[in-house]
Amino acid sequence: MASAPYPRQHFPAGVGGRLSTALALCLAGLLLALPSAAETRRVQGLAGVQSVQIFGAVEVEISQGPEAELLFRGEESRLSPPPFYRSENTLVLGRSAEAPERNIGGIQYRLTLPSLEALQVLGSADVYLRPLETALLRVTLEGSADLRLFELTAERAEFSLRGSGDLHVARLQVDDLQLSLAGSGDLMLGEVQARWLRATINGSGDIAVTEAGWSDRLDVNVLGSGDADLRGLDGTNAEVNIIGSGEVSLGVLEALEANILGSGDVVYRGEPQLEQRIIGSGSLSRKP
């Protein structure tokens, strides 16, 4: 039998304000940082682009809108040859097809797309993604890049961080949410509504949910010393696996399975039905 559709909810104004306000201030800082003597150029004819790759030390703002358009701004000497190119349905920013070995920096891009399915950020870029509604979104950060997403509504979303970069998302409403963190970066989420959330940490990075949220099913895997602070996330069923010294904190649940190998800790609230396997000095404990 097909499962009932996940109920879509509208986030009330003011909820999750701390993170969304911080994102707005960061975006304002980006716009104010544009050099007054810079030149702005406009690119159209980008219909069909659904994937974006970003390289280098650049700043990018991506919005969802009816027409695909790219504005880019910087000193005139930095704009030729064009610091972007298109490869089928992928738009590449921070690279030039005419000078592929050239290091590009000091350019601000403002991109509008009707649909975005994949975003890959490599290097040290700063990326701001305005509210987005899509069926599928895959986001990959590598290196020291930072990405800030205001709000996402999707059937499925995948966020993957490798390196020391940070990813901040103010609001998430996703049926199937996958989080993967390798390295020392941090993944910070505000409000979360998910049918199924899967989080994997490999290394010393941290994942945190800073606002109240819900996930019917929650799977958390930690390999190493990373922490998953999910105290604000209540749910139905959760399975936690820790190998190493990581720590996982959970909200109120109906059922919890915890498997710990090493000195890791699992902390939960409420009175769930418990199943536990601990080898080593790890612990499973309840907090009010």
- Mean pLDDT across 240-268: 98
Which residue type does 153 have?
Answer: T
Q: Which of the two residues, 38 and 35, has the higher pLDDT score?
A: 38
Whether the CA torsion 16, 116, 129, 231 is positive or negative: it is positive
Q: What is the CA radius of gyration of the chain?
A: 20
First vs last C-alpha separation in the chain: 38
201's enclosing H/E stretch is strand 186-203
CA distances from 201 to 131, 179, 190 (A): 26, 8, 18
Phi, psi of 280, rounded to the nearest 5 degrees: 115, -155
What tokens were used for 93? 């920013």
What tokens were used for 242? 């820790």
Among the ranges given (27-41, 72-86, 149-163, 201-215), the one the predictor scored with the smallest mean pLDDT: 27-41
Report the pLDDT value the prediction gives residue 16, as an integer from 0 to 100: 47
Question: Would you kindly state where each structural domain of the chain is located, as residue ranges?
Answer: 42-128, 131-282
What is the fold, at CATH topology level, of the domain defined by 131-282?
Answer: Pectate Lyase C-like (2.160.20)
Q: Give per-residue pLDDT as tens, 153-185.
A: 999 999 999 999 999 999 999 999 999 999 999
**Where does the pLDDT of residue 99 fall: very low under 50, low under 70, confident under 90, or very high at 90 and above?**
confident
**Whole-model pTM?**
0.87
Cα separation of 90 and 179, whole Å?
23
